[in-house]
Amino acid sequence: MEKRIFLTGAEAETRSRLIREALGEKLAEAGGFVLRAEPGQDGFAEGYALCPAAAAGGVEGLESRRFLDCRVWPPAHDNEVFRDFGVRLLEEAAFYPFALLDEIGGYETLIPQFAAALSSLLQSGLPIVGALKTAEEAERWRQLFGLGERFTGRIGQLHAALESDPDTRIVDLGELSEDEVLLLLRAWAKEHS
């Protein structure tokens, strides 16, 4: 089985839920990162934070940093979170048995330091499980944040690199049932985590 597996298609919450359900407590041993919604009083997310991947495995007390503030429109983003904290999480992933990248394919790909650390991690041979924004989601991000054609090009390059890598499998959730995806992720975890 491939060392790297990325879920795409469906909603971001579905991709994340399936990874968490399939890997469960093993995520406490993961390097990398997860995105966490920070709910407001009205039940809607008032922001999103970047957290160490082990937070998905139930480890508490880990540092998290808000990178997206949804209390304003359009949402305000803090690139520094990816420039320093995100890079640190990617670099530290090498010290774990596997990495969780939940999720990639947003504006963080335009931050040179983060893009370089992500590329290095993807080429390292470390087993990785993650979620990948679809081209349609990336287009919505491009419009929302006014990211331009450079962003579209970066996302295209990321998808092409992952699709052409023989040790990476991209699983489109529109092509498999949730039960099939869970079986696939559990088989990956048994072999690589």
The 3-state DSSP class for residue 50 equals strand
* Angle 14-85-44 from CA coordinates, rounded to 5°: 40
pTM, rounded to two decimals: 0.93
DSSP 65-126: EEEEETTSSSPEE-HHIIIIIIHHHHHHGGGSSEEEEEEESSGGGGSHHHHHHHHHHHTS--
Full pLDDT tens readout for the chain, 193 residues: 999 999 998 788 899 999 999 999 999 999 999 999 888 887 788 999 999 999 988 888 899 999 999 898 888 889 999 999 999 999 999 999 999 999 999 889 999 999 999 999 999 999 999 999 988 888 888 887 788 888 888 888 999 999 999 999 999 999 999 999 999 999 999 999 8
Give yes or no for a contact between 32 and 90, defined as CB atoms under 8 angstroms apart. yes
Q: Distance between CA 126 and CA 37 in Å, rounded?
A: 27
* Domains with residue ranges and CATH for the chain: 4-192 (3.40.50.300)
Within a 13 Å sphere around the CA of 35, how many CA atoms are in the beta-carbon half? Answer: 23
Q: What share of the chain is helix, strand, coil (3-state, %, to 5)?
A: 50, 25, 25
Report the Cα–Cα distance between both ends of the chain, in Å, rounded. Answer: 12
Check residue 134 and report its DSSP letter.
-
